[in-house]
Amino acid sequence: MKYYYNTVPGLGQTRNNLIYTSLMSDDQKTFVQWYYNDTDYHHGQNQIIDPSLMSEKWAKELMWLTHMATHRPQLVPEIQGIDLVNKKIYLKIDGVDFWQQSLDAGCSFDGILPDWQEQMLAILQAHKDLGFYKYSLHPSSYFIVDGQLKSINYFFCHSDSEEEVPLSHFRSHISIDRQHKLEEYFAVANLTWDSVLPYSTLQQISFESFRSNYPDDFIDKAKKIYHD
Amino acid sequence: MLIQTPYSIPTALIHQVHHDDLSLGKTVINAPTGRFFYDPWTIKSEYAGTVWDTILKTLPVPVGEARIIVLNYGSCYQQHADIDDRYHLNLSGESCYLVDIDSKILYPVTADGIWYTMNTERIHSATNFGRYNRVQLVVRHLLIDADFDDGVAVRISFDDLDPNYARYIFDNSISVWLNRTNKQHGLKNFEFSRSSVTFSTRPSLLALLKDIVPKEFILTLI
C-alpha cells in the first residue's frame, strides 16, 4: 500500500483527504481509509489533531458507510475488510477516484461517465431516504467500479436526531479553500462560525459550497432532493 | 463483535432511569408497524414522552424491536447467535461483559452512555459477575429487504423437541447462517412461528444451508 494523493494541474500533489490517511494498492484495486493522523502523509498540515474528534470521525465512517453497504450496497465500494484495531477500512475500487480520472483525462465529468449526474443524484437520494445528511461531496469522494459511481467518505454525516452544534465544530475538517467559500456565503446569509443551524440547512449550504466543483444545474437538482 | 457508534446519550438521561421500577427479563417498549423484522417499530403509547422514548430517539436510524433487558446479578445467557444485529446501550451494572465466544474475548460494558452495534453473527453471551442487576436497552437492526426474483422458499422446522433445546441448537447453527445471509442480501420474507421458520433465499446459497442444518431439524422446500 502506498500513500494516495491527487495530482492537480498547477498544484501538483495534494492530499486526497484532510482527515484520514489515504492508501492505495499498487494495482489500484484497493483503497484504504486509514484513520490515523500520519504526519508524513499530511506534510505536517494535519487538520484533525484532536484524538477525540478523530475517534468521532472514525465512528461516523463505520456507522454510515456500513449502513450504506447494508441498505444500498450498489452505491458504495465493496468493503473488503475492516481493521478495528488499526482503524483501516479496505474498499474494492478500480483505478483512481472520479475527480482524478477527470483531471488525468483533461475532460469534464461527462467525458468520464456520461450519466454521472443521474448516478450521483441517486446516491444523494439514498442518503435522504436513509435519514442522514452527508457533507463530503467533493468529486474525489467517489470511485467508478464497473461503470457505477461509488460513494465514500461517510465521516462527515449527521442526522436530525443529533444535537445541533456551532459551525465551528466542523471547521477543522473543511479545506481552507472551502472555508473561504463558506465565509463568502456566511457574509451574504449573515452567519458566523458560531452560528448553530439545523443539519438540513447545513446540507443546503454544503451544496452551495460545491458550485465550483459541479455544474449549477446539478447543484440545483441536488438541493431539490432535500426540499422535496 | 462490538463497535462503538458515534451516537450517545447525555449522562443526565441515564440518571433519569429508575432502576427500581424495572423487572427482571425483557420489556418491549415499542411496537411493530408491519412485518416484525423488516418494518420500523414505533414507541408504545405508554412509553411515549418518557425517558425511554427520549433515549431511543438518539439512534438516528429506523429500528426494530427495542427491549429493556435486566440481567440478574451473578447470571449469564446461554450462548447463541441472532438473525439480526443489535444496538446496545448499557445503563447500569458492574463487572458486566458481552462475550464473543467464537474468539474467546470479553467486552466490558459500562454505563458510558454510548450506543454500540453488535455483530450477533458471532456466537456470544452476556454475563453479570457483579452485585447489581445490569440494565441495557437492546434494539434490533431491521433486516434487509433483499431484492431477488429467483428465490427458493424454505421452511425449517422441528418435531418432538423441547422448544428450549431446539432453540439452543437453532441459534448455534442456523442463526449464524441467517445473520450472514441477510447481510449478503440473500434472505427475504423471514417469518417465525413456535416450531418453524420460513424464508426465501438465493438458490446458490441453498447448498451451504443444507450442509449446516442440524439433524434435529427438517429442511423443506416449499
Amino acid at B124: H
Helices (H), A44-158: 51-71, 98-105, 109-112, 116-129
Q: How far apart are CA B47 and CA B29, in angstroms?
A: 6
Strand partners, A149: A144
> DSSP letter string over B14-81?
HHT--GGGPPSEEEE-EE-SSSTTTSPPEE-GGGTTSHHHHHHTTS-S----EEEEEEPTTEEPPPB-
Can you tell me the distance from the alpha carbon of B64 to that of B45, in angstroms, rounded to the nearest whole number? 16
- Contact list, B107 vs chain A (CB under 8 Å): none
- Classify burial at B212, counting beta carbons within 10 Å of its beta carbon; exposed 0-12, middle 13-18, buried 19 or more: exposed
Radius of gyration of chain A from its Cα atoms, rounded to whole angstroms: 17
Determine the structural domain holding residue A134 and report its residue range: 2-161+196-227
- Helices A176-189/A199-209 angle, 10° precision: 120
C-alpha span between A31 and A76 (Å, rounded): 12
Q: How far away is chain B from the Cα of A130, in angstroms, using its nearest Cα? A: 7
| Number of neighbours of residue A136 by Cβ within 10 angstroms | 19
Instruction: For A205-225, write each residue's pLDDT tens digit.
Output: 999 989 999 999 999 999 999
Task: Tell me how far CA of residue B212 lies from CA of A186, B59, B120, B122, B179, in angstroms.
Answer: 60, 35, 18, 16, 14
Chain A, nearest residue to B56 by Cα: A161
Give the global pTM: 0.86
Tell me the pLDDT band of A37, cut-offs 50, 70 and 90. confident
Residue B103, SS3?
Answer: coil
Tell me how far CA of residue B145 lies from CA of A2, A128, B150, B184, B221, in angstroms. Answer: 38, 18, 15, 11, 21
Residue B151 CB coordination number (10 Å): 17
Q: pLDDT of A1-21, one tens digit each?
A: 999 999 999 989 999 998 899
Does position A76 have pLDDT exceeding 90, yes or no?
yes
Across the interface, do A59 and B61 touch by the CB < 8 Å criterion? no
pLDDT of A185 strictly over 90: no
Q: Examine residue A191 and state whether it is found in any structural domain, yes or no.
A: no
Structural domains of chain A, count: 1
CB pair distance less than 8 Å for A159 and B117: no
For residue B184, give the chain A residue with the closest CA: A70
In chain A, which residues have their Cβ closer than 8 Å to the Cβ of B185?
73
CA–CA min distance A27, chain B (Å) = 26
For chain B, which domains are there?
2-140 (2.60.120.330), 152-221 (3.30.70)
Q: What was the pLDDT predicted at A172?
A: 80
In a domain, A172, yes or no: no
Confidence of residue A228 (pLDDT cuts 50, 70, 90): low
Neighbouring CB atoms inside 10 A of A137's CB total: 22
A124 belongs to a structural domain: yes
Q: What is the dihedral of CA A56, A58, A64, A70, to 10 degrees?
A: -140
Identify the CATH number of the domain in which residue A115 sits: 1.10.510.10
Does some domain include residue A185? no
Cβ separation A59–B60 shorter than 8 A: no
Given a cut of 90, is residue A163 above it in pLDDT? no
Any domain includes A144: yes
* Amino acid type, A29: K
Min mean pLDDT across A160-174, A186-200, B51-65, B200-214 is at A160-174
Q: Which three cell numbers stand for residue A64?
A: 454510515
Distance (Å, whole) CA A100 – CA A102:
5
Residue A162 scores a pLDDT above 90: no
Q: Which ipTM did the prediction report?
A: 0.76
Asked whether residue A182 is assigned to any structural domain, the reply reads no
pLDDT of residue A45: 75
User: CA nearest B182 in A: which residue?
Assistant: A70
Cβ contact A70–B58 (<8 Å): no
Residue A33 belongs to some domain of the structure:
yes
Would you call A43 an interface residue with chain B, using a CB distance cutoff of 8 Å?
no
Whole-angstrom distance, CA of residue A47 vs CA of residue A19: 6
Please name the member of A60, A73, A84 whose beta carbon is closest to the beta carbon of B6: A60
Establish if A8 belongs to a structural domain.
yes
pLDDT in tens, chain B (222 residues): 999 998 999 888 998 888 777 889 999 999 999 999 999 999 999 999 999 999 999 999 999 999 999 999 999 999 999 999 999 999 999 999 999 999 999 999 999 999 999 999 999 999 999 999 999 999 999 999 898 999 999 999 998 889 999 999 999 999 999 999 999 999 999 999 989 999 999 999 999 999 999 999 999 999
Across the interface, do A70 and B60 touch by the CB < 8 Å criterion?
A: no
